[in-house]
Amino acid sequence: MELLFQSEFNTVTKFALWTITGVIVTTVVLFFYTVGLRFATNTERKRRKCFLEKWRDVFAAAALSRDAALLLELPRLVESEHAHLLEEWNLARSIVFGDAADNLIVLAGRIGIAEIAGELLEMHRVQSKIVAVQTFGHLGDKQRFDDVHALLDDLNTALSITAATSLVEIRANRGIEIVVPMIAKRRDWPRNRVSILLREAGSDLISEPMYRNIRSASDDDKKYLMQFARLMESEVRDALVEELIRETEDPGLLTSALKLVSGYRGVPRIVALTQHKAWFVRMQAAKVLGRIGQREHLGLLESLLEDTEWWVRYRAAQAITSLPFLGPNELRQMQQRQKDRFAIDILQHSFAEVGLL
């Protein structure tokens, strides 16, 4: 090899030789690194399996009986198992409610889980912080409320949304007041997790803060927040929806609001929206009129069967087909009196969907 490097190669060949040497060295390093990773992963799996064998039964027994939670002999715990312990305890705690949840908190007190979570919170690794924050939430540890609050603005999405969830778990009222205004700002929070957080907090708790925040938000933020409005109490939601439909001209916001109309409020405005220039507003308005089911809107729905947009025609046809006061014969007569081919086709389609053919 040494001879090879000392030979009379030209510059380009020498450059190639050095490059190939670097490539070989890097490849060998990567190979051994990968093999090392495989060994480390396998060892970690074995260790975790061993840990689970020791602790799963303890968690299960403690969840079922307070005596067990107080008296059960605990397996020996080593420091390297701390993160696993918290993960498993969190998992167990997240799937039980009532007495079982209280029993697990008693067990946590015996093990010193709050202290372990405190240690993990100080670690640099984001995963450790997330597990710690989750634990404070599941413990309802009021002393840690401010620590968790401080992480709400963290740039790491997972950490931040976990902090939001834990804040609400620790102090529901105060947590919700802090978290709701953050929802529109933190668009990076996964919407299904926000939805779960709000649902678990309960409609009675979230309705007022949601109403206030949506009313004072910009149109763009309003549209975003309206996705979660269905989790509010129906009375507050209906009032909000009526106000938005009355006040806004933004097609996106109108659509979001129309999707949530459940009563008979603001019908004249909804009728007017069937002529809106945005087709998706017309479509939603047609759908709402179908749900309201009044004979006085039949003519309007019939005219929408000739709309230029397929979806408006489709929803109008579905709305007509679902009207409780129209029987099969009347529906067929209506189809026969249509002159527009699109209207006939879409009614045919809608009839077939409900087995009227």
Partner 1 sequence: MTMHDFVIGGQWLFLTYFVGINLGYLLQNVIAAIGIRKYLQTAEQYEAENVFSSLDIPITIIVPAYNESASIITSIKALLQLEYPQFELVVVNDGSSDDTLERLIEAFDLREFPEAYRASIKTASVRCIYRSTKARNLRVVDKQNGGKADAINAGINASRFPLVCVVDADSILQSDSLGRVVRPFLEDPTTIAVGGTVRIANGCTVRLGFLEKVALPRNFLALIQVVEYLRAFLFGRMGWSPINGLLIISGAFGLFRKETLIEAGGFNPKAIGEDMELVLRLHRTMKEKGEPYRITFVPDPVCWTDAPEKLGDLSKQRVRWQHGLGEALAMNRSLIGNRDGGVVSWLAIPFYVFFELLGPIIEVLGYVFILICAWFGWLTFPEAFIFLGLAIGLGVLLSTSAIMLEELSFHMYPKFSQLLTLYSVAILENFGFRQLNSYWRFKGLVRWLVGAKHQWGSITRSTSLADQ
Over the window 98 to 137, marking each residue x when it contacts partner 1 by CB under 8 A and - when it does not, the resulting string is: ----------------------------xx--x-------
CA 337 to chain centre: 47
What span, in angstroms and rounded, lies between the C-alpha atoms of 20 and 23?
Answer: 5
Residues in the chain: 357
In the structure encoding, which two tokens stand for residue 164, read together? Answer: 């939001």
In whole angstroms, how close is the CB of 214 to partner 1 at the nearest point? 16
CB 160 within 8 A of CB 134: no
Over the window 313 to 332, marking each residue x when it contacts partner 1 by CB under 8 A and - when it does not, the resulting string is: xx------------------
Over the window 272 to 311, marking each residue x when it contacts partner 1 by CB under 8 A and - when it does not, the resulting string is: --------------------------------------x-
User: What phi, psi does 243 have (nearest 5°)?
Assistant: -65, -45
* CA distance to 71, 213, 316, per residue, from 178 (Å): 39, 11, 42
In whole angstroms, how close is the CB of 326 to partner 1 at the nearest point? 19
State which of residues 43, 80, 94, 333 lies at the interface with partner 1 (CB under 8 A).
94
Binding residues among 31-90 for partner 1 as defined by CB under 8 A: 31, 33-35, 37-38, 41, 90
Torsion sign (Cα): 75, 78, 80, 82: positive
What span, in angstroms and rounded, lies between the C-alpha atoms of 228 and 191?
Answer: 9
In whole angstroms, how close is the CB of 270 to partner 1 at the nearest point? 23
Residue 203 interacting with partner 1 (CB under 8 A) = no
In whole angstroms, how close is the CB of 13 to partner 1 at the nearest point? 5
HSE-CB of 354 using CA atoms within 13 angstroms: 16
What span, in angstroms and rounded, lies between the C-alpha atoms of 289 and 274?
Answer: 9
Q: Which residues bind partner 1 (CB under 8 A)?
A: 4, 7, 9-10, 12-13, 15-17, 19-20, 23-24, 26-27, 30-31, 33-35, 37-38, 41, 90-91, 94, 126-127, 130, 157-158, 162, 187-188, 190-193, 195-196, 199, 227, 230, 310, 313-314, 342, 345-346, 348-349, 352, 357
